[in-house]
Amino acid sequence: MSPLPRNGATLTGRDRQGRTLRIARHAASDRVVLSVWQDSSCVATVRLAPEDVVDLVTQLTRTLLPAEDGGAEAMIN
């Protein structure tokens, strides 16, 4: 099992017990790593360049906003 990130955070999922999202900064590779964990197993990772984090935050924010046409918007495009 990988240790919890020293430079980052851990968010607990609400849909499945034991599911967490780890956010870690890896200075040596100049990447921000998002990893999905189920209990003590990493099940997926995405490595982002620092400039991509701004787009991630923008897209997360857009997802929370109501759809412009007033209808339901799909969570995944």
**Which tokens in the block code for residue 28?**
């040596």
Amino acid (1-letter code) at residue 72 = A
29 within 8 A of 14, measured Cβ to Cβ: no
Specify the 3-state DSSP secondary structure of 53.
Answer: helix
**Which tokens in the block code for residue 32?**
């921000």
Of 46, 49, 20, the C-alpha closest to 34 is 46
| pLDDT value, residue 1 | 52
pTM (2 d.p.):
0.75
Span 62-74, mean pLDDT?
Answer: 71
Does pLDDT of 23 surpass 70? yes
Cα-Cα-Cα-Cα dihedral of 41, 53, 47, 16, to 10°? 20
Express each pLDDT in 51-67 by its tens digit: 999 999 999 999 998 87
